[in-house]
Amino acid sequence: MGEVSVRRVRSKIIYRGRVATLSLDTYHKPSGDFYIRETIQHPVSVVILPVLNDSRVLLIRQFRHAVNSIIYEIPAGTTEPGEPALACAKRELAEETGYTASRWKRLCEFYPAPGISTERMALYVAKGLKKLEKRIPMDKDEQITVHITPAQKVLQMIRKNQIVDAKSIIGVLWGLDRICWSG
């Protein structure tokens, strides 16, 4: 990361929600100018690329309030206070898909929207998948269906703009290229 020459000189919380906090931040530039930005403070999140032994991927479809649409994604979720990212990934995979995994590999971390949010996501690939005998209840605000999809079709869905979620696109492209087909 580069040297930061801009300083935050003030931060005022204007909203505190269940998961995120919105602050109004004032910054000072080396030129002497000041400017204000809204920032969403968000805990670390995880995104999981679950791959079956035959290279099929577990996609989920769920309603997303912010875009008022049902979209295809790969499983993801936000860490609870003090929860390690891998523990969160295991919990979210079970809750959202009804599967567990015996092999986990952390691939990378990324900021999905650094212009507005502090959220950092850890990407995992999950293999050795096994369906749970009893489904874990989803969060009350979730309505998710699982779609087992061949990897090639998932890539086509990205090309055809049928998968429009950035974390899912990153997870699929990074994960399938680096893990599923090359080792």
Q: For the chain, what are the domain ranges?
A: 7-41, 45-180
pTM above 0.85, yes or no: yes
Q: Can you tell me the distance from the alpha carbon of 91 to that of 132, in angstroms, rounded to the nearest whole number? A: 12
pLDDT tens by residue, 113-161: 999 999 999 999 999 999 999 877 777 777 899 999 999 999 999 999 9
Give, in order, the Cα–Cα distances in Å from 55 to each of 4, 87, 102, 165.
43, 24, 16, 21
Q: Which pLDDT band holds residue 7 (cuts at 50, 70, 90)?
A: very high
Sign of CA dihedral 127, 70, 137, 113: positive
Architecture of domain 45-180: Alpha-Beta Complex (3.90)
d(CA 178, CA 42): 28
CA distances to 60, 67, 169 from 165, in Å: 12, 11, 6
Residue 68's DSSP bridge partners are: none
